[in-house]
Amino acid sequence: MTPRSLTAGLLAGALALASCGAPVAPTAAKNSLVIAGYGGSYEEAFNKSVIPDFEKTCSCQVTYIAGSSTDTVAKLKAQQSAPQIDVALIDDGVQNQAVEAGLLDKLDPRTVTNLPDVIDIARLPGDVGVGFSLNATGLAYNTEYYAEHGLKPPERLADLADPKLKGKLVMPSITQTYGLGALLIAAKVGGGSESDIDPGFEGIKKVAANAVTFDTTADVSNYFLQGQAVASVWGNSRVQTLAGKGFPIKFVYPEEGALPLIATVNVVKGAPHADLAQKFVNLLLEPSAQQELAKAAYNGPAVKGVTLDPGLAAKVVGQDRAAGLRTLDWTVINKNRSAWTERWTKEIETS
């Protein structure tokens, strides 16, 4: 199954007017653009229409490489002396690491003319990259399974430690954003924080005892579809995409507070096709593209003045809700993330 189709006409118009200027003549030599980004519903949405329309209007060829944010940044580091990727779609926290490593370039306001319309929470320091969609990390559960087994819907992270869920929970690994989010939520519940992570590990141990597996891909759809798991820590847009296909799943903003998750689009420093990369960034900030990505993958718009159908607006992370989500100290998190990952491997996934 694929997500609901993007409206080709709207994006084609946005591409023609904002991304490349006048359409390129058919006889123009083709360029190429390599995008590294999210897999699953995101990849499907991009390959369905965003990429084909960009290729047609700009007379270019696009290659999409799917992977988690940490995988993408690892590729950028490995290729730093000779970049092969032009555009990187990565979560905001991991993006902060990439900036510190000098892997990303500043956006050109002459090309990315939509930058002034991006909401404050999605504007990044120095305009090195920009947020193009709003999301949140919270809880997901199979509503049908819970009802049939008389289980109360989860309201907080600790509810996933219920012994009745033994072997029915897919736990995200700390190597991807949702697993890190679970650790940070658990830390807050236990009276800790980014600077005091011990309570987080204690809380996660209780939840992880129910795990059937630790996912590193950020897309746990198949575990739900195949009945291997009935609950997880996951992102709203991922949950809504699966629900949109008719699966009985629901997203919960936990009582402890959901965590903001901003998907960012970035031009790689030294990108082989930097001009095309800048144009592609501008495309994703077009109001029509923002609307269609919301329809296709339930991405909350990061651009001011984008209107959505009320039914769809209720399912995405809106700008008002995003502004009220918990603020994270990414400087502290990224300073400690390697040590946390090592500790997680020893204490959580091998316990």
| 3-class DSSP string for the chain | CCCCCCCHHHHHHHHHHHHCCCCCCCCCCCEEEEEEECCCHHHHHHHHHHHHHHHHHHCEEEEEEECCHHHHHHHHHHCCCCCCCCEEEEEHHHHHHHHHCCCEECCCCCCCCCHHHECHHHECHHHCCEEEEEEEEEEEEEHHHHHHCCCCCCCCHHHHHCHHHCCCEEEECCCCHHHHHHHHHHHHHCCCECCECHHHHHHHHHHHCCEEEEECCCCCHHHHHCCCCCEEEEEHHHHHHHHHCCCCEEEECCCCCCEEEEEEEEEECCCCCHHHHHHHHHHHCCHHHHHHHHHHHCCEECECCCCCCHHHHCCCCCHHHHHCCCCCCHHHHHHHHHHHHHHHHHHCCCC
CB-hemisphere CA count at 13 Å for 170?
23
pLDDT for 325 equals 87
Least confident of 17-31, 57-71, 73-87: 17-31
Q: Can you tell me the distance from the alpha carbon of 110 to that of 216, in angstroms, rounded to the nearest whole number?
A: 38
Identify the band that residue 21 occupies on the pLDDT scale cut at 50, 70 and 90.
very low
pLDDT for 328 equals 87
Q: Are residues 302 and 163 in the same domain?
A: no
Q: Are residues 143 and 233 in the same domain?
A: yes
Q: Can you tell me the distance from the alpha carbon of 53 to that of 10, in angstroms, rounded to the nearest whole number?
A: 10
pLDDT for 351 equals 61
Of 30 and 84, the structure prediction assigns the larger pLDDT to 84
Q: What tokens appear for 41 in the block?
A: 């519903």
pLDDT for 252 equals 97
77 pLDDT higher than 50: yes
16 pLDDT higher than 80: no
pLDDT for 326 equals 85
Q: Are residues 239 and 206 in the same domain?
A: yes
Please report, rounded to a whole number, the percentage of residues in the chain having pLDDT higher than 70. 91
CATH number at residue 241: 3.40.190.10
Q: Are residues 184 and 249 in the same domain?
A: yes
Q: Do the domain assignments include residue 1?
A: no
Region of 193 please: left (phi>0), alpha (psi -120 to 50) or beta. Answer: beta
Least confident of 15-24, 105-114, 294-303: 15-24
What is the mean pLDDT of the segment spanning 95-99? Answer: 94
2 pLDDT higher than 50: no
Q: Describe the crossing of helices 330-347 and 177-189 by its angle, rounded to 10 degrees.
A: 90
Identify the band that residue 12 occupies on the pLDDT scale cut at 50, 70 and 90.
very low
Q: Are residues 19 and 108 in the same domain?
A: yes
Q: Give the tens place of pLDDT for each residue, 313-333.
A: 999 999 999 888 888 898 899
Please report, rounded to a whole number, the percentage of residues in the chain having pLDDT higher than 90. 75
What is the mean pLDDT of the segment spanning 142-170? Answer: 97
What is the mean pLDDT of the segment spanning 26-32? Answer: 51
pLDDT for 95 equals 95
CA angle 91, 235, 169 (to 5 degrees): 125
Q: Are residues 101 and 235 in the same domain?
A: no
46 pLDDT higher than 60: yes
Q: What tokens appear for 47 in the block?
A: 């390959």
Q: Are residues 334 and 193 in the same domain?
A: yes
What is the mean pLDDT of the segment spanning 9-32? Answer: 44
pLDDT for 50 equals 83
Give CA 249 to chain center in angstroms: 19
The average confidence (pLDDT) of the chain is: 89
Pairing of strands 259-268, 130-142: antiparallel
pLDDT for 304 equals 95
Q: Give the tens place of pLDDT for each residue, 99-138.
A: 999 999 999 999 999 999 999 999 999 999 999 999 999 9
pLDDT for 23 equals 39
Region of 21 please: left (phi>0), alpha (psi -120 to 50) or beta. Answer: left
Identify the band that residue 347 occupies on the pLDDT scale cut at 50, 70 and 90.
very high
Q: Can you tell me the distance from the alpha carbon of 167 to that of 175, in angstroms, rounded to the nearest whole number?
A: 21
How many domains are there within the chain?
2
Pick the closest to residue 250 from 262, 232, 267, 268 (CA basis): 232
35 pLDDT higher than 60: yes
Residue 321 φ then ψ, to 5°: -65, -40
What is the mean pLDDT of the segment spanning 265-271? Answer: 98
14 pLDDT higher than 50: no
Q: Are residues 210 and 343 in the same domain?
A: yes
Q: Do the domain assignments include residue 3?
A: no
181 pLDDT higher than 70: yes
Radius of gyration of the chain (CA): 20
Structural domain boundaries enclosing 275: 8-134+261-323
Residues linked to residue 196 through DSSP beta bridges, in sequence order: 193
Q: Are residues 164 and 306 in the same domain?
A: no
Q: Are residues 252 and 266 in the same domain?
A: no
Q: Describe the crossing of helices 198-208 and 177-189 by its angle, rounded to 10 degrees.
A: 110
